[in-house]
C-alpha cells in the first residue's frame, strides 16, 4: 500500500499552479498556514520564540521552527491521534508533530511495528516519514512552559483541531495520548451538542461516543517521564495500536 501525500508536506507554494492540487489539498494548505502564523497566546509566543533563539546546546547548529505546529499524516486517515503539545526542543525545533525528541522516537517506532509508518525513526520534516491511515495532531500547537498549556490556551487552539477533524471527515477512531488530550476530545463533542458523558481516563480503555461518532481509545502519553519510569512500556504501547488497527478492520 502506497501512503498518500502527507498533509504537512503540502506548502502554500503548492497552490501556485492552477489544477495542480485538489480542493481538499488547498484547504489543508490554507489551514496549515493559519496555524503556523498564529500569535493569539502571548505567553506561548514568547516561550516558543525564546526557546528557538536560545536553543539547546546539542542543537545549536539547527534553525529552530519556533512557530505553531500543524498536524501531520495521511489526509484520508481513518485514525486520528491527538497529543498534548509540541516539545520545546522536539516539534518546536523540527516543525513536525512528535519529531525530534524521545516521545516521537517511542511513537513512530510503535506505528512502524504495526505497519502505520514507513520507517521507525524520524529526525526532521524532510526525512521521508509517511504515515498510513493515521493523522497526528495535538490540542495545543505551541510548545508550552513546563509542558503545561493553560485551559485558556487549549481553548484558543481548539478551532484548529476542529478544522482538522472536519477535513478528516472519514476518520472512524481516535487515540488520545494522555488525559488532557482525552478530556479535550470529549469536550469538543459535548460543545457540538453530542450527549457525551464525563468519562474517566484509563490506559487502553475503549469508549463508544455514540451513533455517528468515532470511537475513542485512551493511552498514556509517550513522554520521557512515562517511558523511562516504566509506566508506559513498548508492549503496552503496541497493544494500543494493535487494538486500534483491529477496530478499524472491523468497521
| CA dist., res. 123 & res. 102, Å (int) | 11
| CA dist., res. 132 & res. 5, Å (int) | 10
What local confidence, expressed as pLDDT, does residue 13 receive? 38
What's the CATH code, domain 7-250?
3.40.470.10
Instruction: Report the chain (251 residues): mean pLDDT per 10 consecutive residues.
Output: 50 45 91 98 98 96 98 96 98 98 97 97 95 98 97 98 94 97 97 91 96 96 97 98 96 72
Q: Grid cell 486520528 — which residue?
A: 80
Instruction: Give the residue extent of every domain in the chain.
Output: 7-250
What local confidence, expressed as pLDDT, does residue 20 receive? 67
Contacts of 113 (CB under 8 A, 6+ apart): 120, 238, 241
Residue 225 near residue 210 (C-beta atoms within 8 A): no
| CA dist., res. 161 & res. 145, Å (int) | 21
What SS3 state is found at 216? Answer: strand
How does pLDDT run across 198-230, given as a tens digit for each residue?
Answer: 899 999 999 999 999 999 999 999 999 999 999
pTM of the model: 0.92
Amino acid at each position: 500500500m502506497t501512503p498518500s501525500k502527507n498533509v504537512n508536506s503540502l506548502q502554500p507554494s503548492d497552490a501556485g499552479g492552477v489544477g495542480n492540487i485538489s480542493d481538499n489539498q488547498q484547504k489543508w494548505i490554507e489551514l496549515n498556514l493559519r496555524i503556523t502564523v498564529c500569535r493569539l497566546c502571548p505567553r506561548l509566543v514568547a516561550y516558543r520564540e525564546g526557546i528557538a533563539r536560545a536553543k539547546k546546546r546539542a542543537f545549536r547548529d539547527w534553525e529552530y521552527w519556533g512557530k505553531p505546529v500543524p498536524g501531520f499524516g495521511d489526509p484520508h486517515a481513518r485514525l486520528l491521534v491527538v497529543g498534548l503539545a509540541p516539545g520545546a526542543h522536539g516539534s518546536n525545533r523540527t516543525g513536525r508533530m512528535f519529531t525530534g525528541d524521545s516521545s516521537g522516537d517511542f511513537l513512530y517506532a510503535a506505528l512502524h511495528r504495526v505497519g502505520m509508518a514507513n520507517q521507525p525513526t524520524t529526525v526532521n520534516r524532510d526525512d521521508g516519514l509517511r504515515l498510513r491511515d493515521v493523522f497526528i495532531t495535538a490540542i495545543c500547537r505551541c510548545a508550552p512552559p513546563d509542558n503545561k498549556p493553560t485551559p485558556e490556551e487549549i481553548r484558543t487552539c481548539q478551532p484548529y483541531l476542529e478544522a482538522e477533524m472536519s477535513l478528516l471527515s472519514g476518520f472512524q477512531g481516535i487515540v488520545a495520548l494522555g488525559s488532557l488530550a482525552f478530556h479535550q476530545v470529549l469536550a469538543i463533542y459535548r460543545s457540538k451538542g453530542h450527549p457525551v458523558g464525563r468519562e474517566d481516563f484509563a490506559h487502553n480503555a475503549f469508549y463508544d461516543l455514540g451513533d455517528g461518532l468515532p470511537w475513542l481509545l485512551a493511552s498514556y502519553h509517550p513522554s520521557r517521564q512515562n517511558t523511562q519510569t516504566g509506566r508506559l512500556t513498548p508492549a503496552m504501547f503496541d497493544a494500543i495500536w494493535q487494538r486500534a488497527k483491529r477496530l478499524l478492520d472491523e468497521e
